[in-house]
Amino acid sequence: MASSGRGIDVRGEVVDLLLEKIASDRNPSVTMMNMVEELLAPDDVPAYVGVLLDKVKTERYPSLAMLRRLLAVAS
């Protein structure tokens, strides 16, 4: 993937940062989730799906939008 001139994978760093924020926020920002989905590489999908699954599992009444997002990313 693209990296800065110093060998840093900026895309990967941003994805990791956003995944941490999404995981720690009870109601993550739709904008952050959209950004992650735009930046996802195939290797990132399992981590993102895991974060979304954890969100769905911990809610008594999971958001339909979150379930739809999860299904869209997983397919």
Nearest to 14 by CA among 30, 43, 49, 38: 38
Return the higher-pLDDT residue of 2 and 49.
Answer: 49
Is residue 4 in some structural domain? no
Is residue 5 in some structural domain? no
Is residue 33 in some structural domain? yes
33 touches 66 (CB < 8 A): no
Element (H, E) at 72: helix 64-74
Query: Residues 24-71: pLDDT tens digits?
Result: 998 999 999 999 999 999 999 999 999 999 999 999 999 999 999 999
Residue 30 DSSP label: H
25 touches 36 (CB < 8 A): no
The pLDDT assigned to 3 comes to 54
Is residue 70 in some structural domain? yes
What is the extent of the structural domain holding 40? 10-74
User: Tokens representing 40?
Assistant: 């996802």
What is the number of structural domains in the chain? Answer: 1
Is residue 2 in some structural domain? no
Taking the model in full, what pTM does it have? 0.85
